[in-house]
Amino acid sequence: MLFHVRMDVNLPASMPEAEATALKATEKAQSQALQASGQWRHLWRIAGQYSNISLFDVSSIDELHQLLSQLPLFPYMKIQVMPLCRHPSSIREDDR
């Protein structure tokens, strides 16, 4: 199943810089591992914001929730999820 996910990150201004840097590095490594696995299919930054639009390819909404809730930045995110399905007018044979 494909899911369109918007993640808006809001780290507290009071968070020490070293802690924020370490958290972001851990997040980057985990997100790249999920991308390599094919579960996190696409990742785009929203220009001018600490936000992204991503496409996930997982077997269920429960699997998506598990992946998202294990992200290091999860406690600092506002997340919007939209399930996707093929449009009948699409000329594409697959979801790539």
Structural domain boundaries in the chain: 2-84
The pLDDT-based confidence of 86 (bands split at 50, 70, 90) is: confident
Whether the pTM exceeds 0.85: the reply is yes
CATH number 3.40.50.12280 given to 2-84: no
Listed in sequence order, the residues at least 6 apart from 83 whose beta carbon sits closer than 8 Å to its beta carbon are 1, 2, 3, 61
pLDDT over 90 (residue 27)? yes
pLDDT over 70 (residue 44)? yes
